[in-house]
Amino acid sequence: MKFTLHIWRQENARAKGHFETYQVDNISAECSFLEMLDILNEQLVNDRISHPVCFDNDCREGICGMCGLYINGRPHGNDDGITTCQLHMRKFNDGDEIWIEPWRAKPFPVIRDLVVDRTAFDKIIQAGGYISTTTGGVPDANTIPIPKHKADQAMDAAACIGCGACVAACKNASAMLFVGAKVSHLALLPQGKVEAADRVRKMVMFLHQHLCLRGRMS
Protein backbone atom coordinates (compact mmCIF):
# COMPACT_ATOMS: atom_id res chain seq x y z
CA MET A 1 0.00 0.00 0.00
CA LYS A 2 1.10 3.55 -0.74
CA PHE A 3 0.18 6.66 1.22
CA THR A 4 0.70 10.40 1.11
CA LEU A 5 1.32 11.70 4.62
CA HIS A 6 0.78 15.33 5.64
CA ILE A 7 2.53 15.55 9.00
CA TRP A 8 2.71 18.46 11.46
CA ARG A 9 6.35 19.44 12.04
CA GLN A 10 7.31 21.84 14.82
CA GLU A 11 10.88 22.31 16.03
CA ASN A 12 9.97 23.17 19.62
CA ALA A 13 7.23 24.66 21.79
CA ARG A 14 8.03 28.23 20.70
CA ALA A 15 8.51 27.62 16.98
CA LYS A 16 5.78 28.03 14.40
CA GLY A 17 4.62 24.68 13.08
CA HIS A 18 3.69 23.63 9.55
CA PHE A 19 2.69 20.56 7.56
CA GLU A 20 5.23 18.64 5.52
CA THR A 21 4.32 16.01 2.93
CA TYR A 22 5.95 12.59 2.64
CA GLN A 23 5.37 9.48 0.55
CA VAL A 24 5.54 5.93 1.92
CA ASP A 25 5.27 2.80 -0.21
CA ASN A 26 5.14 -0.96 0.26
CA ILE A 27 3.24 -0.64 3.54
CA SER A 28 1.56 -3.85 4.67
CA ALA A 29 -2.16 -3.69 5.40
CA GLU A 30 -1.40 -5.47 8.70
CA CYS A 31 1.10 -2.79 9.71
CA SER A 32 0.07 -0.64 12.66
CA PHE A 33 -0.06 3.12 12.27
CA LEU A 34 2.98 3.62 14.51
CA GLU A 35 4.91 0.95 12.62
CA MET A 36 4.13 2.88 9.45
CA LEU A 37 5.64 5.99 11.07
CA ASP A 38 8.67 3.91 12.05
CA ILE A 39 9.12 2.99 8.40
CA LEU A 40 8.82 6.64 7.39
CA ASN A 41 11.44 7.65 9.98
CA GLU A 42 13.83 4.98 8.77
CA GLN A 43 13.37 6.36 5.26
CA LEU A 44 13.99 9.94 6.41
CA VAL A 45 17.19 8.93 8.23
CA ASN A 46 18.56 6.71 5.47
CA ASP A 47 17.86 9.27 2.73
CA ARG A 48 19.03 12.14 4.97
CA ILE A 49 15.86 14.07 4.18
CA SER A 50 15.22 15.46 7.66
CA HIS A 51 15.28 14.47 11.31
CA PRO A 52 12.80 11.72 12.23
CA VAL A 53 9.22 12.66 13.02
CA CYS A 54 8.87 12.79 16.81
CA PHE A 55 5.83 11.02 18.25
CA ASP A 56 4.92 9.54 21.63
CA ASN A 57 4.68 5.80 22.21
CA ASP A 58 5.41 3.31 24.93
CA CYS A 59 3.58 -0.01 25.34
CA ARG A 60 2.06 -0.19 21.82
CA GLU A 61 -0.62 -2.43 23.32
CA GLY A 62 -3.41 0.11 23.81
CA ILE A 63 -2.73 0.47 27.54
CA CYS A 64 -0.48 3.46 28.25
CA GLY A 65 -2.30 6.18 26.27
CA MET A 66 0.90 7.87 25.10
CA CYS A 67 0.28 7.41 21.37
CA GLY A 68 -2.39 10.08 20.93
CA LEU A 69 -2.48 11.51 17.41
CA TYR A 70 -5.08 13.50 15.52
CA ILE A 71 -5.55 11.56 12.28
CA ASN A 72 -7.73 12.93 9.48
CA GLY A 73 -9.51 15.21 11.96
CA ARG A 74 -10.27 12.51 14.50
CA PRO A 75 -8.46 11.51 17.72
CA HIS A 76 -6.70 8.15 17.22
CA GLY A 77 -7.98 7.88 13.65
CA ASN A 78 -10.88 6.27 11.84
CA ASP A 79 -11.67 3.33 14.08
CA ASP A 80 -13.72 3.03 17.27
CA GLY A 81 -12.57 2.20 20.79
CA ILE A 82 -8.85 1.99 20.06
CA THR A 83 -5.65 3.93 20.57
CA THR A 84 -3.40 5.04 17.71
CA CYS A 85 -1.02 2.12 18.24
CA GLN A 86 -3.90 -0.30 17.66
CA LEU A 87 -4.96 1.37 14.42
CA HIS A 88 -3.89 -0.70 11.41
CA MET A 89 -3.31 0.43 7.85
CA ARG A 90 -6.06 -1.91 6.58
CA LYS A 91 -8.46 0.78 7.83
CA PHE A 92 -7.21 3.02 5.00
CA ASN A 93 -7.39 2.64 1.24
CA ASP A 94 -4.35 2.28 -0.96
CA GLY A 95 -3.31 5.73 -2.17
CA ASP A 96 -5.04 7.62 0.64
CA GLU A 97 -3.83 11.00 1.84
CA ILE A 98 -3.51 11.05 5.63
CA TRP A 99 -3.29 14.18 7.77
CA ILE A 100 -1.45 13.64 11.06
CA GLU A 101 -1.40 16.22 13.85
CA PRO A 102 -0.67 16.39 17.58
CA TRP A 103 -3.53 16.97 20.00
CA ARG A 104 -4.79 20.41 18.95
CA ALA A 105 -5.71 21.62 22.43
CA LYS A 106 -4.06 24.41 24.41
CA PRO A 107 -3.92 22.39 27.67
CA PHE A 108 -1.59 20.03 25.75
CA PRO A 109 1.12 22.32 24.30
CA VAL A 110 3.28 20.86 21.55
CA ILE A 111 6.79 19.90 22.63
CA ARG A 112 8.01 18.86 19.19
CA ASP A 113 6.28 17.58 16.04
CA LEU A 114 3.55 15.18 17.24
CA VAL A 115 4.61 15.12 20.90
CA VAL A 116 2.52 17.08 23.41
CA ASP A 117 2.93 17.87 27.10
CA ARG A 118 0.27 15.99 29.12
CA THR A 119 1.40 17.39 32.46
CA ALA A 120 -2.05 18.93 32.96
CA PHE A 121 -3.56 15.47 33.54
CA ASP A 122 -0.85 14.62 36.07
CA LYS A 123 -1.61 17.83 37.96
CA ILE A 124 -5.32 16.99 38.10
CA ILE A 125 -4.49 13.64 39.69
CA GLN A 126 -2.04 15.30 42.08
CA ALA A 127 -4.69 17.84 43.10
CA GLY A 128 -6.81 15.18 44.75
CA GLY A 129 -5.97 11.72 43.56
CA TYR A 130 -4.20 10.34 46.60
CA ILE A 131 -5.52 8.52 49.65
CA SER A 132 -3.90 9.93 52.80
CA THR A 133 -5.82 7.81 55.33
CA THR A 134 -3.59 5.63 57.47
CA THR A 135 -4.85 2.10 57.05
CA GLY A 136 -2.04 0.12 58.68
CA GLY A 137 -1.00 -3.04 56.89
CA VAL A 138 -2.46 -3.36 53.43
CA PRO A 139 -4.94 -6.27 53.29
CA ASP A 140 -5.26 -8.51 50.29
CA ALA A 141 -7.68 -6.90 47.83
CA ASN A 142 -9.75 -10.07 47.66
CA THR A 143 -10.50 -9.88 51.40
CA ILE A 144 -12.26 -6.50 51.16
CA PRO A 145 -16.00 -7.06 50.65
CA ILE A 146 -17.15 -5.00 47.65
CA PRO A 147 -20.45 -5.53 45.82
CA LYS A 148 -19.78 -6.82 42.33
CA HIS A 149 -21.71 -4.04 40.61
CA LYS A 150 -19.56 -1.47 42.44
CA ALA A 151 -16.35 -3.29 41.52
CA ASP A 152 -17.49 -3.43 37.89
CA GLN A 153 -18.27 0.29 37.86
CA ALA A 154 -14.89 1.12 39.39
CA MET A 155 -13.12 -1.07 36.83
CA ASP A 156 -15.01 0.63 33.99
CA ALA A 157 -13.93 4.05 35.27
CA ALA A 158 -10.34 2.88 35.80
CA ALA A 159 -10.25 1.85 32.13
CA CYS A 160 -9.61 5.51 31.29
CA ILE A 161 -5.91 5.55 30.38
CA GLY A 162 -5.56 9.34 30.29
CA CYS A 163 -4.67 9.53 26.60
CA GLY A 164 -6.30 12.97 26.22
CA ALA A 165 -8.56 12.12 23.27
CA CYS A 166 -11.59 13.58 25.08
CA VAL A 167 -9.79 16.92 25.45
CA ALA A 168 -8.56 16.89 21.86
CA ALA A 169 -12.06 16.17 20.53
CA CYS A 170 -13.82 18.81 22.64
CA LYS A 171 -14.13 22.28 21.09
CA ASN A 172 -13.59 23.76 24.57
CA ALA A 173 -10.73 21.35 25.34
CA SER A 174 -12.59 20.26 28.48
CA ALA A 175 -11.15 17.48 30.63
CA MET A 176 -14.42 16.71 32.42
CA LEU A 177 -14.61 13.14 31.06
CA PHE A 178 -11.13 12.40 32.38
CA VAL A 179 -11.87 14.01 35.75
CA GLY A 180 -15.21 12.19 36.00
CA ALA A 181 -13.55 8.84 35.32
CA LYS A 182 -10.83 9.41 37.91
CA VAL A 183 -13.26 10.70 40.54
CA SER A 184 -15.49 7.66 40.01
CA HIS A 185 -12.81 5.04 40.07
CA LEU A 186 -11.32 6.42 43.30
CA ALA A 187 -14.63 7.04 45.06
CA LEU A 188 -16.55 3.86 44.26
CA LEU A 189 -14.27 1.61 46.31
CA PRO A 190 -14.21 1.70 50.14
CA GLN A 191 -10.63 2.96 50.33
CA GLY A 192 -11.54 6.13 48.46
CA LYS A 193 -14.81 7.05 50.17
CA VAL A 194 -13.16 8.70 53.20
CA GLU A 195 -11.87 11.66 51.18
CA ALA A 196 -14.28 11.51 48.25
CA ALA A 197 -15.90 14.94 48.68
CA ASP A 198 -12.62 16.76 49.28
CA ARG A 199 -10.99 14.99 46.34
CA VAL A 200 -13.77 15.99 43.95
CA ARG A 201 -13.61 19.61 45.11
CA LYS A 202 -9.84 19.83 44.61
CA MET A 203 -9.79 18.12 41.22
CA VAL A 204 -12.72 20.09 39.80
CA MET A 205 -11.32 23.35 41.19
CA PHE A 206 -7.98 22.73 39.50
CA LEU A 207 -9.75 21.80 36.28
CA HIS A 208 -11.73 25.03 36.14
CA GLN A 209 -8.84 27.25 37.21
CA HIS A 210 -6.24 25.89 34.81
CA LEU A 211 -7.84 24.00 31.93
CA CYS A 212 -11.46 24.79 31.15
CA LEU A 213 -12.36 27.04 28.23
CA ARG A 214 -8.83 27.27 26.86
CA GLY A 215 -10.22 25.83 23.67
CA ARG A 216 -8.70 24.02 20.76
CA MET A 217 -5.80 25.47 18.82
CA SER A 218 -6.54 26.95 15.42
Q: How far is CA 77 from CA 33, 67, 137, 166, in A?
A: 9, 11, 45, 13
Query: What pLDDT sits at residue 39?
Result: 97
Q: With beta carbons less than 8 A apart as the criterion, state whether 91 and 170 touch.
A: no
Query: What pLDDT sits at residue 211?
Result: 60
Q: How confident is the model at residue 28 (pLDDT cuts 50, 70, 90)?
A: very high
Question: Rounded to whole angstroms, how far apart are CA atoms 65 and 137?
Answer: 32
Nearest CA to 7 out of 68, 70, 65 is that of 70
Question: Rounded to whole angstroms, how far apart are CA atoms 8 and 112?
Answer: 9
Q: How confident is the model at residue 124 (pLDDT cuts 50, 70, 90)?
A: confident
Q: With beta carbons less than 8 A apart as the criterion, state whether 34 and 84 touch.
A: yes
pTM, to two decimals: 0.84
SS3 115: strand
Q: How confident is the model at residue 213 (pLDDT cuts 50, 70, 90)?
A: very low
